[in-house]
Amino acid sequence: MAKAGTPVAIMTEILKIENLTKYFGGLCAVDSVSFSLDEKVIMGLIGPNGAGKTTLVNMISGAIPPNHGRILFNGTDIAGHKAHAINNRGIARTFQVVRIFSKLTALENVMAGLVDRRQKGPWRLAFASLVGGFGKQSQNPENRAAAEGLLELVGIGGYRDELAENLPYALTKRLEIARALATRPKLLLLDEPSSGLNPAELVDQIALIREINKQGITILIIEHVMKVIMDISDRLVVIHYGKKIADGKPEAVYTDPNVVEAYLGGESHAAR
Amino acid sequence: MSKRLKHRLRSVAVVAALLILPQVVQERYFLHIVVMAGIYTIMTMSWNLLAGYSGQLNLGHAAFFGIGAYSSALLAMKLGVSPWFGLLGGGVIAGFFGFLLGFPALRLSGPYLAITTIGFAEILRLVAVNWVDLTRGSLGLSGIPLLTPIRLGSWGMEFYFERDYYYVVLAAVVFTYFCMLRFTHSEFGVSLQALRDDEQGAQSIGIHTSQYKLAVFTISAFFAGMAGGLFAHFTRLVSPDTMSLHVTFDTLTMTMIGGLGTTAGPILGAVLLSLLSEWLRTLEDFFRMDIRLVLYGFLLILTIRFMREGLVGVVRALKEGFSSYGKGRNAGGDHD
Ligand SMILES: Nc1ncnc2c1ncn2[C@@H]1O[C@H](COP(=O)(O)OP(=O)(O)O)[C@@H](O)[C@H]1O
Ligand SMILES: [Mg+2]
């Protein structure tokens, strides 16, 4: 706790987005969006279907390059960098439609994320595999324990030796979160992690996201389920047809006339 | 622990059996077939790393085999390099071509990559046909030197007979197997499988997929090139046929039937199909056609349709069947 008289710790900006824009042919999927995100905050990103939320996350994570604008991560512009390089810098993500490694076990999925890729490229790993000690290195005890810990954290410890393709859909979404956390991110981007969950699972999900945040990880979460987003967001950004239309405290944003209009006017998909 | 010991003992038994095989069966024709099976085993293991573990459908693997064969033969014939270094040199040169073929794989996948790699092998085959000064064209290189004798003090080994080559190829197979086992059961192998299963997912956890593809193409080509070098010094004849599609197709068939993306599959497939195809050859007069290809095609369809993991999958299913049968009986016993 801060001593009396000393200033409260100044929030540092981890992510700052400036005029980010993406066109798909003639369609402007993300239209000059700007916002900044302080460290250790949980920020919700909402908007009707097709608003451009996933596209925004794709640009931040490097899956696709933006047409214009800057993405400052800890002060460095990473716009247009490759996805693997952005992950190496400390941004991890999950996907709206899961992209797990189906023929690997749950444990191996997470262990793939644990490899320190800032230090080790393929040649070094290949060489190390030949000269390293006997036994299966993919199961080296430290990594194994860490991977098991992450599977426990997301609540699928019992499935560790199951092939990922055999997991029920809801659990593959959690596996993706564990895999993302394995890369030790400072910023985690979650693209609709709660889709397809039942009410009991939603409660677990909220607790999990809080727990991850408590470990000092900043979170940007796209969510359709209003209960989740209102519950956990410190801050809410709304986009509509690629444009940012609201930004602020969840309660304030929820009653913002622009937002109400956007949800009721358009396909009122998310207005639950 | 005891399971591991059992595993070790089994490995020792297999190696011992392989070591005494040429002493037991001395028929040269048979040993010739076994040596060729060994060379194919290196081909299937290296192709499996690329296609099975990394998902890169390379249909130009014969090119690496041919490059290794020609390089190692020419190094010995034109430059007088010891064939032992030539084997390594053939691997390295093939590896370099593998690296080059990795570049199209950065942009292409699936059928597009497959067609590109066929084109790559076909171009190299045509180079071998037409660069007559170097390769003697479709006549091929003949009179490639034998492996030179090894002497260690009073002990020596010369390479005249199939039996002698058998041991060299066996050593190469064991070496390749060991490397593949290490590659696939390591962080390297997990990364390859990750990029195979989902490239974008792999990139999202920091895997530099382009570098991995280049690396695995290079490594795989190195081993295929080494197999080519062994072939050159064993058969002493290398023609452009070494780069033709049927070499790739044989490799693919053996690997798939044995079990794509498994450790034992490529070995099982290469050995069984090599022996089987020799036996079928004896039936050719009876059927008046190459029954071999018919059977390969049939087995391949069966594998793809019913058993993606090939023979390894069949064995695994049988084992599981037996053990669950056993468990079922035990459970029944508990009931009593
Ligand atoms: N790769 C793509 N190519 C063409 N159009 C796309 C692509 N990705 C998204 N879009 C379009 O961009 C718009 C925004 O999509 P998206 O970001 O997925 O929305 P959201 O995640 O908010 O539902 C939609 O109109 C979608 O059809
Ligand atoms: Mg979306």
Question: DSSP string of B261-291?
Answer: TSSSHHHHHHHHHHHHHHHHHHHHHHHTS-H
The chain B residue lying nearest A88, using CA atoms, is B206
Q: Do both A78 and A153 map to the same domain?
A: no
Domain contains A272: yes
Domain contains A203: yes
Domain contains A8: no
Q: Do both A139 and A203 map to the same domain?
A: no
> DSSP class of residue A3?
P
Q: pLDDT band for position A133 (50/70/90)?
A: low
Say whether residue B177 is in contact with chain A using an 8 A CB cutoff: no
Task: Give the number of whichever ligand sits closest to the CA of residue A60.
Answer: 1
Q: Which domain holds residue A63?
A: 33-90+185-272
Residue A54 Cβ inside 6 Å of ligand 1? The answer reads: yes
- Which numbered atom of ligand 1 lies nearest the CA of A49? 23
Q: Do both A58 and A192 map to the same domain?
A: yes
Ligand 1 centroid to A53 CA: how many Å? 8
What pLDDT is stored for residue B327 in this prediction?
47
Nearest Cβ partner for A61 among B198, B204, B214: B204
C-alpha dihedral sign at B4, B10, B15, B16: positive
Domain contains A21: no
Q: Do both A179 and A129 map to the same domain?
A: yes
Q: Do both A176 and A45 map to the same domain?
A: no
Ligand 2 centroid to A97 CA: how many Å? 9
Residue A94 Cβ inside 6 Å of ligand 1? The answer reads: no
Map residue B102 onto helix, strand or coil.
helix
Ligand 1 centroid to A18 CA: how many Å? 20
Q: Do both A84 and A208 map to the same domain?
A: yes
pLDDT at A269 over 70: no
Domain contains A160: yes
C-alpha dihedral sign at B112, B113, B117, B120: positive
Q: Which of A127, A150, A183 is the last residue of a domain?
A: A183
Domain contains A18: no
Q: What's the full length of chain B, in residues?
A: 336
CA distances from B16 to B9, B269, B274, B304 (A): 10, 21, 22, 34
Unique residue bearing structure tokens 């064209």: B137
Mean of pLDDT values over A214-226: 92
- Joined together, the tokens standing for residue A265 give 């006017």
Cα(B61)–Cα(B49) distance, integer angstroms: 12
Q: Do both A209 and A162 map to the same domain?
A: no
Cα(B185)–Cα(B251) distance, integer angstroms: 22
Say whether residue B260 is in contact with chain A using an 8 A CB cutoff: no
Q: Which of A183, A203, A231 is the last residue of a domain?
A: A183
Residue A47 Cβ inside 6 Å of ligand 1? The answer reads: yes
Instruction: Indicate the pTM of the whole model.
Output: 0.90
Helices (H), chain A: 53-60, 83-89, 106-114, 122-131, 141-153, 169-182, 199-214, 226-232, 250-254, 257-265
Most B-contacting residue of A125, A130, A176 (CB-CB within 10 A), to test interface: A125
Smallest CA separation from ligand 1 atom 18, residue: A54
Cα(A93)–Cα(B205) distance, integer angstroms: 8
Q: Do both A145 and A85 map to the same domain?
A: no
DSSP codes joined into one string, B223-244 = HHHHHHHHHHHHHSEE-GGGGS
pLDDT, averaged in runs of 10, over chain B (336 residues)? 78 85 81 92 97 94 96 91 90 96 88 92 90 84 81 76 85 94 93 96 96 97 97 92 91 92 92 88 74 83 84 85 54 36
Smallest CA separation from ligand 1 atom 1, residue: A24
What pLDDT is stored for residue B133 in this prediction?
83
CATH code for the domain of A82: 3.40.50.300
Q: Which of A122, A148, A183 is the last residue of a domain?
A: A183
Structural contact between residues A62 and A85, judged by C-beta atoms closer than 8 angstroms: yes
C-alpha dihedral sign at B209, B210, B213, B218: negative
Structural contact between residues A28 and A15, judged by C-beta atoms closer than 8 angstroms: no
Q: Do both A191 and A270 map to the same domain?
A: yes
Q: Do both A190 and A272 map to the same domain?
A: yes
CA distances from A23 to A18, A27, A33, A95, B308 (A): 16, 5, 13, 20, 41
Structural contact between residues A55 and A104, judged by C-beta atoms closer than 8 angstroms: no
Ligand 2 centroid to A51 CA: how many Å? 8
Q: Do both A200 and A82 map to the same domain?
A: yes
Domain contains A169: yes
Q: Do both A200 and A268 map to the same domain?
A: yes
Domain contains A4: no
- ipTM (interface predicted TM): 0.90
The count of structural domains within chain A is 2
Cα(B66)–Cα(B50) distance, integer angstroms: 18
What pLDDT is stored for residue A94 in this prediction?
97
Smallest CA separation from ligand 1 atom 26, residue: A50
Enumerate helices (H) and strands (E) in chain B, giving the number of each. Answer: 14, 4
